[in-house]
C-alpha cells in the first residue's frame, strides 16, 4: 500500500492554517498532512493540527525570493527528519496558496508518476541551461554554480540545469530523502535547485503536462475555481487571500 | 523603482512584443515571440522576449566567410532516464 505524505508549507496565522487544513482534508486523510511552518514560534504553538514541524531556516524567510535565492533546503531537511521513523512511500509538496480540487489527487499523481516511470513530477518543468532564463543567468554569474553541479552529478552532462515550480511537486521517498540530504553550500534559488539536484543525483524528473495551465507564479484562481475544475484541473495555484472566504469544499 | 521608470519599462516591453523582431525557433520554425535585438559593445541585448531560448549559430548551405547568422532555439522538454548513482557520496566542490 502506497502512503503519500502531503506537506503544506505555510507562514499564515493559525486561523488561516486551520481553514487550509480543513480544505485539504476534503481531498486526503488528515493523517497524511504535515504542516511545515515558516511563521513565528508563537503562531506555530497555536496551530491545532498535530503533525507539524517548525522551519527555523533564515534562507526560507527571504523578501525578494529570486534575488536572495530563497531555499527550501531547511523545509526538506526538517520533513526528512520527521519522516525518519515513518513509512511514507511518496511525498507531495504544496505551498499555502495551492488548492486541491479533486478528492483523488494523490492517486492521480501516483498514476502519472507510474506512467512516466518517473521519480519526481514537477509543474512547469523545463531545461533552462544556456538559455536567457533570468534565474539561470543570475546563477551562471556565480563562479561556484557550475563546479557544484560538476562535483555532484552522476550524469554525462553537468550543464543541464532544470527549473520548475516547487509547489505541487510529487516525489518518491528515495528522491525526496536524497535531495533533502544534498549539500547546498551556497545559496541557490529553490526553483532551480530542487529539480536540478534531483536530476544530477540520477532521478528521472518529468513534467505534469496538461496540469501546467492551472499553476502560475502570479494571479489568483479564486474567481475561476469552477472553470478550472470543469477544464480538468487537479489543483490550482495560486489562490491568494483568505482561506475562509473560499466556498464550501465540494471536490469532485 | 520610480513610477516613471516602471511605466517606461512597461512601455518598452510592450513595444518590443508588438513591433520587435520576430523570433523563430531555428530548429522547428515555430514563432516564439517578438523582441528588440540591439547590438551593444560587442554583445546583443535581447529586450522583451517572453520565451526561454538558447542562442546558436545557424548551419549554412552555402559557404560564406563574410556572414554568419545567429538564431535561437528552445530545449526539448526534459526527458532524462533514471540513472543509478555511484554508492560513494559526491565530492565537495573544489575551493
CATH of the domain at A108: 3.90.550.10
* Residues with Cβ within 8 Å of residue B33, at least 6 apart in sequence: B17, B22, B23, B49, B50, B51
Asked if residue B40 belongs to a domain, the reply is yes
pLDDT of B87 reads 66
Contact B56, B71 (CB under 8 A): yes
Q: By CB neighbour count within 10 A (0-12 exposed, 13-18 middle, 19+ buried), where does B71 fall?
A: middle
Encode B30-52: b = buried (16+ Cβ within 10 Å), e = exposed.
eebbbbbbeeeeeeeebebbebb
Quote the cell numbers at residue B18. 508588438
Is pLDDT above 90 for A56?
Answer: no
What value does the mean pLDDT take over residues B59-82? 95
* Domain annotation covers residue A251: no
A206/B54 CB distance under 8 A: no
Range of the domain at A138: 4-244
Contact A206 B86 (CB under 8 A): no
A199: nearest CB among B52, B54, B80: B80
Residue B89's pLDDT band, with cuts at 50, 70 and 90, is low
What does the DSSP 8-state code read for residue A224?
A: G
> Does the beta-carbon distance from B93 to A201 stay under 8 Å?
no
How does pLDDT run across B19-33, given as a tens digit for each residue? Answer: 999 999 999 999 999
C-alpha cell at A246: 473560499
Closest CA to A186 of A88, A84, A73: A73
Q: Compute CA distances A189 → A37, A51, A134, A239, whole Å.
A: 19, 27, 12, 22
Instruction: Write down the pTM of the prediction.
Output: 0.90
pLDDT at A217: 84
Cross-strand bridge partners of residue A131: none
B80 located within any domain: no
Q: Which domain holds residue B40?
A: 13-73
Position B78 in a domain? no
Q: Is B61 domain-assigned? A: yes
According to the model, what pLDDT value does residue A247 have? Answer: 54
As a whole number, mean pLDDT of residues A214-243 equals: 87
Domains: count for chain B: 1
Q: Is residue A252 part of a domain?
A: no
Res A220 pLDDT > 90:
no
Amino acid at each position: 500500500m502506497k502512503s503519500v505524505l502531503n506537506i503544506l508549507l505555510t507562514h499564515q496565522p493559525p486561523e488561516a492554517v486551520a481553514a487550509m487544513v480543513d480544505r485539504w482534508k476534503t481531498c486526503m486523510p488528515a493523517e497524511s498532512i504535515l504542516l511545515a511552518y515558516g511563521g513565528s514560534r508563537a503562531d506555530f504553538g497555536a496551530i491545532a493540527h498535530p503533525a507539524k514541524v517548525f522551519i527555523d531556516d533564515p534562507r526560507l524567510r527571504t523578501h525578494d525570493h529570486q534575488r536572495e535565492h530563497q531555499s527550501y533546503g531547511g523545509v526538506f531537511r526538517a520533513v526528512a527528519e520527521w519522516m525518519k521513523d515513518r513509512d511514507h512511500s511518496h511525498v507531495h509538496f504544496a505551498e499555502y496558496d495551492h488548492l486541491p480540487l479533486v478528492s483523488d489527487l494523490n492517486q492521480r499523481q501516483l498514476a502519472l508518476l507510474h506512467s512516466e516511470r518517473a521519480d519526481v513530477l514537477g509543474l512547469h518543468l523545463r531545461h533552462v541551461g544556456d538559455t536567457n532564463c533570468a534565474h539561470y543567468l543570475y546563477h551562471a554569474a556565480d563562479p561556484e554554480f557550475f563546479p557544484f553541479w560538476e562535483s555532484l552529478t552522476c550524469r554525462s552532462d553537468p550543464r543541464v540545469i532544470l527549473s520548475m515550480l516547487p509547489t505541487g511537486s510529487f516525489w518518491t521517498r528515495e528522491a525526496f530523502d536524497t535531495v533533502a540530504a544534498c549539500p547546498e553550500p551556497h545559496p541557490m534559488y529553490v526553483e532551480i535547485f530542487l529539480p536540478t539536484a534531483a536530476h544530477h543525483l540520477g532521478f528521472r524528473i518529468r513534467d505534469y503536462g496538461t496540469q501546467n495551465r492551472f499553476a502560475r507564479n502570479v494571479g489568483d484562481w479564486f474567481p475561476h475555481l469552477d472553470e478550472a475544475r470543469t477544464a480538468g484541473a487537479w489543483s490550482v495555484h495560486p489562490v491568494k487571500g483568505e482561506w475562509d472566504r473560499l466556498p464550501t469544499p465540494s471536490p469532485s | 523603482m520610480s513610477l516613471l521608470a516602471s511605466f517606461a519599462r512597461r512601455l518598452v516591453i510592450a513595444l518590443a512584443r508588438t513591433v520587435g523582431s520576430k523570433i523563430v525557433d531555428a530548429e522547428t520554425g515555430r514563432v516564439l515571440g517578438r523582441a528588440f535585438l540591439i547590438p551593444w559593445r560587442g554583445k546583443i541585448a535581447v529586450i522583451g522576449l517572453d520565451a526561454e531560448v538558447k542562442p546558436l549559430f545557424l548551419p549554412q548551405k552555402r559557404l560564406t566567410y563574410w556572414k554568419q547568422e545567429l538564431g535561437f532555439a528552445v530545449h526539448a522538454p526534459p526527458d532524462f532516464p533514471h540513472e543509478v548513482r555511484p554508492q560513494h557520496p559526491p565530492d565537495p566542490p573544489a575551493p
